[in-house]
Structure 1
Amino acid sequence: MPRPPARGGTPLRVPARYYLRLAEVLPRQGVDLRACLRDLGLSESELQQPDASIPFAQVDELINHLLDAGARSDTAFELGQLLSVSTHSIVGFGMLSCPTLEDALRFVARYFRLVMPSFRLRYTIDTGRSELLFTPVIGMSRACLDFHLEAIAIAALRDIDDLTGGHRPRSRLTLSMPEPAHLCRYRALRDVECHFDANASPQVRLTLFGHLRTLPLRLSDPNALQVAEERCRSLARQVTRVGRFSDWVMMTIREMGDGVPTLQELSKMLNLTTRTLNRYLEREGTCYRELLARVRFELACERLAAGQMSVTEIAYSLGFHDSANFARAFRAKAGCTPSAYRQRYGIGAADAQPAGRGSRGMPRPRSAIKLS
């Protein structure tokens, strides 16, 4: 089961603002959100405070409690439709201020942990298409997982509609869950091809077709974007203070999508000198080069198993100058070539990750998250 980065034993907390929006959905279904919150010992007034958060374990309890109380199967779908870009606080402000749709998606990928810490977002670009991949970073019940997959998927479509003024490009949406009872609602989505795969690793995959850099945003504002970037960096530093610098560095390398941030770029995000960040990492028994190699290897395993990119494309996406250097580095870690790894462990799921070691010392891709 994946776990959130170390926080000294502190439970993972998520923004309360998203779940409070259920108060706009549940009354139509005859479900009393306030009563459910009281049953779980949650204070509505405290959750309504600015920047209030809630332990994710209690979110899991809340979702299951609402379903037991009679919430409809499409509750998460309706919640996702309510979550506009502005709901994401300073991250949403930064997205709206970006010059193009591609820039906005890169921005939210960098700071998605500030939006929903229980999930990770990766943004990648291929020829003529872009892809958003959302995966959980903490174990949860099946009901809670499916609820979040739906809400995140529909909210992502709503975000892109908001950013483009309703001119969202043609899309393909894949959710790792069975076809829902309200399948007709997905079929009614405009220009969205929807797929459900209950056997895939837990994820939401949203593919956008076209060149997103050619889609300008009407609210673009360089000065506002600078303010948002500085504020998000400040919040990232606060997150780092309660954890480990190595956790944050690895998380940021993963979430940058295409391209690999340099040590200088990471230092700038934290408003530290390169020497200072190096010193902090040394205190934790590691260094940037070691962390980069670890993340590169994990991403290489994921992308090889997914089967959607050639070995050369994977090499370039991970910052290698050519496929030969990538192949040598991969063989040194895995004990086999990238092609052999793909043939042996390809499982068709782009978020497969190493989980333990096989009989020949080769990391096995993880096909599913063990749910508690």
Structure 2
Amino acid sequence: MVSSGRPWGGAGVPGIYVVLLYDVLESLNLDASALLVGLGVSRDELLAVDRRVSMSLAQTVAERGVEMVGERGLGFRYARAMSITLHGPVGLLALSSASAQDALDAACRFLGLRAPFLEIHRTRQSGQAHLQLRSTRPLGIAHDFIIEAMLVGLVFMIEQLLESLPQGLEIHRCGPAPAWLMALRKEVGVPVCFDQEENALVFPLSALEARPRLADPQVAAIARQQCEMEFRQWRTEDEGVMARRIRSALQDHPAPLPSLQGMAERLAVSARTLKRHLQQAGLSYRQLQDEERYQQARRLLVQSENSISEVAYRLGYNDVANFSKAFKRWSGMTPSAYREKR
């Protein structure tokens, strides 16, 4: 059974996001109850205020949703069903900010409170802002769904903030256009460009000066205080002390990464104690290993002097096929496809 998480007071994903996916599947006449089978949590429980679930449970649910929906644009459908108010104080802060720039700054700072598996990188190129989304951990077959939902969701949020979309706004996506695109493209409201080098939202810098229609300095100040309180608590309690120590040790350890027993010896605890701490945080040692292997693999693959077989060997794989299978599970694409996009 996968840990169902706990009320707010640690890392995780808001339960309301799982409820939203449940409802999207129901709207497609699918058996939404299959999402939660064996996970020890019900839809009603996830509706509780500030209920959170472990990231492993959230990923399991997302992967099940992708398998159930297939090629019907789950990310787009999920984003279309989401209102900015579902994001709690973070959404309220964005709505009441004095400018689109302030709303963007808030979204970037507090993204971890709502999507702790993603990060936003901001760059400026030729008068345009690029908001690039990157996963901070392997997302498996749910990768494309999550990235798609976030990018399209940001477009819909901008529309809610400003009442109309700024000219020149585009979505950039790595990989080829999906089969569902032609049927739903017009409903996205902005051009979606595929086979790009990034998963990003691109728009003119001038759009950052726009004023949200519900701008209110008093409301924004209160919402920011709430976000800052949650942020401090999240940073303090995120996945437990042991998980942070393991992540740090894995980042400092050259490939191949140590076994569970090897890590336990490094941290001067028993393997049983290490495993118990991780289970309490809704994690497993293999999950943390995979996260670090994914990061190391990405760094090695962008170096053209490393062949894919050399990258596989350095990461501890004796079989290139096994490495390719693992990398596709982490990123949604093969090592060679990832390298071609970089």
Using structure 2 for the length normalisation, give the TM-score.
Answer: 0.63
Query: How far apart in 2 are the matches of 1:44 and 1:84?
Result: 19
Find 1:225's aligned residue among 198, 220, 225.
220
- The structure whose RCO (Cα within 8 Å, separation 6+) is larger is 2
Aligned to 2:307: none
Separation in 2, partners of 1:190, 1:31: 23
Map of 2:180 onto structure 1? 182
Q: 1:54 maps to what in 2?
A: 53
Task: State how many pairs are aligned.
Answer: 246
How far apart are 1:190 and its partner, in Å?
Answer: 6.2
User: Any idea what SS the aligned residue of 1:120 has?
Assistant: strand
1:68: how far off? 3.7
- Cα deviation for residue 43 of structure 1 reads 2.5
The farther-off stretch of 17-26 and 101-110 is: 17-26
Please list, as runs of the form range in 1=range in 2, the aligned pairs for 1:13-52 lying within 5 A after superposition.
13-52=12-51
Shift of 1:127: 5.0
175-184 vs 67-76, which moves further: 67-76
Question: Does 2:202 align with 1:207?
Answer: yes
Letter in 2 for 1:216: R
- Aligned with 1:134: secondary structure? strand
Segment of structure 1 superposing worse, 174-183 or 60-69:
60-69
Question: Match of 1:111?
Answer: 110
Distance 2:44 2:60 in 1: 19
**Aligned counterparts, 1:218-367, within 5 A:** 218-243=213-238
Q: CA deviation at 1:172?
A: 1.9
Contact 2:10–2:234 (8 Å) recurs in 1: no
What amino acid does structure 1 have at the position aligned with 2:173? L
Q: Is the 8 A contact 1:73 1:180 kept in 2?
A: no
Distance 1:102 1:72, change over 3 A: same
Q: Is the 8 A contact 2:13 2:115 kept in 1?
A: yes
Q: Please give the alpha-carbon distance, in whole angstroms, between the structure 2 residues aligned to 1:241 and 1:68.
A: 35
- List alignment gaps of at least 5 residues for structure 1: 1-9, 248-301, 306-343, 346-355, 357-367
Counterpart of 1:287 in structure 2 is none
Match of 1:144 in 2: 142
User: Which stretches in structure 2 are left out of the alignment for 5+ residues?
Assistant: 1-8, 245-298, 305-313, 315-325, 331-342
The offset of 1:125, in angstroms, is 4.1
TM-score normalised per structure 1: 0.58
SS in 1 for 2:41: coil
Partner residue, 1:163: 161
Shift of 1:218: 1.5
Q: CA deviation at 1:11?
A: 9.6
- Is the 1:172–1:194 Cα contact (8 Å) retained in structure 2? yes
The corresponding residue for 2:86 is 87
Aligned to 2:121: 122
Q: 1:178, CA displacement in angstroms?
A: 3.2
3-state SS in 1 of match to 2:159: helix
Q: Which has the higher helix share?
A: 2
Partners of 2:214 and 2:186 lie apart in 1 by: 29
Per the alignment, residue 65 of structure 2 pairs with: 66
Deviations 1:250-272 (A, max 9, x none): xxxxxxxxxxxxxxxxxxxxxxx
* Separation in structure 1 between the aligned mates of residue 204 and residue 29 of structure 2, nearest angstrom: 40
Partner letter of residue 166 of structure 1? S
Q: What is the CA-CA distance between 1:111 and the residue it aligns to?
A: 0.9
Structure 2 counterpart of 1:159, one-letter code: M
3-state secondary structure, aligned to 1:211? helix
Distance in 2, Cα, partners of 1:213 & 1:75: 29
**What amino acid is aligned across from residue 207 of structure 1 in structure 2?**
V
Q: For 2:53, give the aligned amino acid.
A: I
Shift of 1:70: 4.7
CA distance in 2 between counterparts of 1:30 and 1:186 reads 18
Contact 2:71–2:178 (CA<8 Å) still a contact in 1?
no
